[in-house]
Amino acid sequence: MLIVILLKGVPARTTQAIQMGGVLNREAMDLVLNPHDYKAVEAADYLKRRVGGKTVALSMGPDMKLIPLMKPLYDAEVFGVDEEYVLSDRKMAGSDTLATSYAVALGVKKLVEKHTKPIDDLSEAIKKSGYSEAVKAKSTELYRANLLSNRVYSELPSVKDSVVQRFLGGAITAETALAELADEKDRISKFAIVAGIKTTDGETGSVGPQVAEGVSELLGKVLPHATYVEDFEIDPETDTVTSERKIGYLSQKLEMKLPLLLTISTEYRPRTAPAASQEEVRANNYWGKQFQAFKWTADDLGADPRRLGLAGSPTIVGSGVDVGKSPVQKTVGSTLVFVKPQGALEFEGKKYGPFTMGDITSSLPESLLSDLRAMGSVGVFGYAMLAAEVLS
């Protein structure tokens, strides 16, 4: 089973934002893992202990910030994540929830394709080479790349009846092997996505459901989703997840078929996986962990640039405040800012600056401000400067 965990790097504290578009410059701030996402990691870990598979962390933002932030999750309790992927591209900068959900949905689609293609490649090898070392070599290559489950091929002493082992040993025909590989491909398509209930820098709680809608659009089938999930159970025999959630005073129990998406409440407490299912879990697990994080750009995803970043973000967000600093906001078309760097100034016995490009001028006397405007050092904050700051 492919278990995708949606993660986000959020500011360590409420941060400065440009009023027009509410854009956060994440590259220039201290980020932490969104606290609510740890519940998603716990839920993903339970799914792996219950049915087996692979836990994949998927995030979007500056890769140089997110990759170190996500690294400790490899060792998280109990199993930790197996692989990490970061969607990072300047074309994605300034994305609101709609543009973010579109990019993340593309990431989920690409993850599914990345894990179904090896099944197709192995099937072609069997059709072409039959009972040969070429099939074993291809299986070994894909297995060690963490792309085949133990059910398909395994080097574990405890797994002796994988599809490839039985095929090469003459226990099953090529037709049977191909049918079992088709079943495995179908099993991969029944994935689960888990996410935190919301993020501390947005508080909308809308990205999870929007990702479900985006994946539905891309795959051409409805991806059911449930929010505020406080408890859930999965039945591996029927591919059914029964979740419980509470919205206000209303409690609901929802039954959904895989694939699906769950946003996990802060009240979630993982269940204990039954010991009787461990043989099946081992068969569904993969080779191990890939400690080298993967980075995907907009081009890697095949994204429509019109649906990314500022261009794909219809939302206009108000200003934010950096706790511990004076409130700072800029409004396109009215706020006066420095349009080029300016060294320290002395005016009427007081010192000002130095200033960097983009600094606002509210602390300057009106007469000094007039002189700086006449010199071309100060101007009105415009869309070009907004774009430059977002993409810087």
Domain range annotation of the chain: 2-108+188-307, 127-185, 336-391
Task: Give, as one character, the DSSP assignment of residue 100.
Answer: H
Q: What is the C-alpha to C-alpha distance for residues 212 and 101, in angstroms, rounded to an integer? A: 8
Q: What is the C-alpha to C-alpha distance for residues 104 and 22, in angstroms, rounded to an integer? A: 20
How far, rounded to the nearest angstrom, does the alpha carbon of residue 155 sit from its chain's CA centroid? Answer: 30
CA 52, 53, 54: angle at the middle one, nearest 5?
A: 135
Q: What is the C-alpha to C-alpha distance for residues 318 and 327, in angstroms, rounded to an integer? A: 13
Task: Give, as one character, the DSSP assignment of residue 292.
Answer: S
CA 124, 237, 252: angle at the middle one, nearest 5?
A: 125
Length of the chain: 392
Question: Which structure tokens are listed for 89?
Answer: 């591209």
Average pLDDT rounded to a whole number, residues 244-258:
93
Residue listed under structure tokens 């016995």: 349
Helix %, strand %, coil % for the chain, to 5? Answer: 40, 20, 40
pLDDT for res 276: 82
Average pLDDT rounded to a whole number, residues 105-116:
97
What percent of the chain has pLDDT above 90? 64
Count the Cβ atoms, other than its own, within 10 Å of residue 302. Answer: 9
Q: Chain-wide mean pLDDT for the chain?
A: 89
Average pLDDT rounded to a whole number, residues 157-184:
94
- pLDDT > 80? residue 129: yes
Task: Please check whether the domain covering 2-108+188-307 is classified as CATH 3.30.360.10.
Answer: no
**Edge-to-edge strands, sheet with 83-87:** 250-257, 240-247, 225-235, 260-264, 192-196, 2-7, 54-60, 83-87, 294-296
Average pLDDT rounded to a whole number, residues 369-373:
90
Among 300, 303, 308, which Cα is nearest to 391's? 308
pLDDT for res 39: 95
pLDDT for res 328: 59
- pLDDT > 50? residue 18: no
Q: What is the C-alpha to C-alpha distance for residues 290 and 192, in angstroms, rounded to an integer? A: 20
pLDDT digits (tens, 9 = 90+) for 82-101: 999 999 999 998 888 899 99
Q: What is the C-alpha to C-alpha distance for residues 82 and 300, in angstroms, rounded to an integer? A: 21
**DSSP conformation letters of 6-62:** EE-EEESS-----TTT----GGGS-EEE-TTHHHHHHHHHHHHHHH--EEEEEEES-
pLDDT for res 19: 39
CA 321, 327, 328: angle at the middle one, nearest 5?
A: 90
What values do phi and psi take at 123, rounded to 5? -60, -40
pLDDT for res 323: 47
Quick check: helix, strand or coil at residue 348?
Answer: coil
pLDDT digits (tens, 9 = 90+) for 297-339: 999 999 999 999 888 888 766 555 444 444 557 888 889 999 9
